[in-house]
Amino acid sequence: MIQRTSPFPPEGTKDRPRVAVSACLLGHPVRYDGGEKFFPVIVEEMAPLLELLPLCPEWESGLPVPREPMRLEDRDRKIRLRSEKGEDHTKRLETWSRRKIKSLKRDDIRGLILKARSPSCGSLDTPIFRNGEEEPAVLGAGIFARIVQESFPELPVIDEERLADTALRQEFLSRVDRDGS
């Protein structure tokens, strides 16, 4: 397991806006392959400004680490989360996501930083496959990201790839700060 210094603000800084972050971006080894996708900008530039709350829909919903890779599939106009062996994890993730929405409301979350292209967290660029095809038919939101965006249409959501753009990062931070005012 990779050890990182804590990305969380020190005690006494709970007045900072709370932002939920895909745990893998904070260095937590929760990805399907047991890895992480540590994204230093979040810790170095954003942690001093925000209270960061890690989340991982797949792991928190009970899927193991490591686990089979999964993808989104369009099955009869219904997006399904399926493993390589064909196991359908859609209901598990949707149920967890709806419960998580309630805790995000209680926690007064003011933004989300999600993992790009993830079948659970990708906010707009997750490949969606049709009829067992090998090439994605369209791009869309992952299961958790879609449910969050439907529940909180005004909530600022960004992925790490867009966060790398200084202007988009500043816009996100401005919206997180403004939306809580």
The 10s digit of each residue's pLDDT in 131-153 is 778 888 899 999 999 999 999 99
Residue 77 domain-assigned (yes or no): no
Instruction: Please state the pTM of the whole predicted model.
Output: 0.88
- Asked whether residue 3 carries a pLDDT value surpassing 50, the answer given is no
Residue 80 domain-assigned (yes or no): no
Give me the pLDDT at residue 179, please: 59
Residue 13 domain-assigned (yes or no): no
* CA gap 35, 50 in Å, rounded: 25
Residue 109 domain-assigned (yes or no): yes
Residue 5's pLDDT band (boundaries 50, 70, 90)?
very low
Contact of 45 with 19, CB cutoff 8 Å: no
* CA gap 80, 126 in Å, rounded: 13
Give me the pLDDT at residue 180, please: 54
**Domain of 34?**
18-67+101-123+142-179
Q: Angle of helix 143-151 relative to helix 90-106, nearest 10 degrees?
A: 40
Mean pLDDT for 71-81 is 91
Give me the pLDDT at residue 113, please: 98
Mean pLDDT for 157-166 is 96
Task: Look up residue 88 and give its amino acid.
Answer: D
Instruction: Say how many C-beta atoms besides its own lie within 10 A of residue 179's C-beta.
Output: 13
Average pLDDT, the chain: 90
Give me the pLDDT at residue 15, please: 82
Residue 94 domain-assigned (yes or no): no
Residue 3 domain-assigned (yes or no): no
Distance from chain centroid for Cα 177? 20
Give me the pLDDT at residue 81, please: 96
Q: Which residues contact 135 (CB under 8 A, 6 or more apart)?
A: 129
Residue 105 domain-assigned (yes or no): yes
Structure tokens at 161: 């790839």
Residue 157 domain-assigned (yes or no): yes
Q: How many domains does the chain fold into?
A: 1
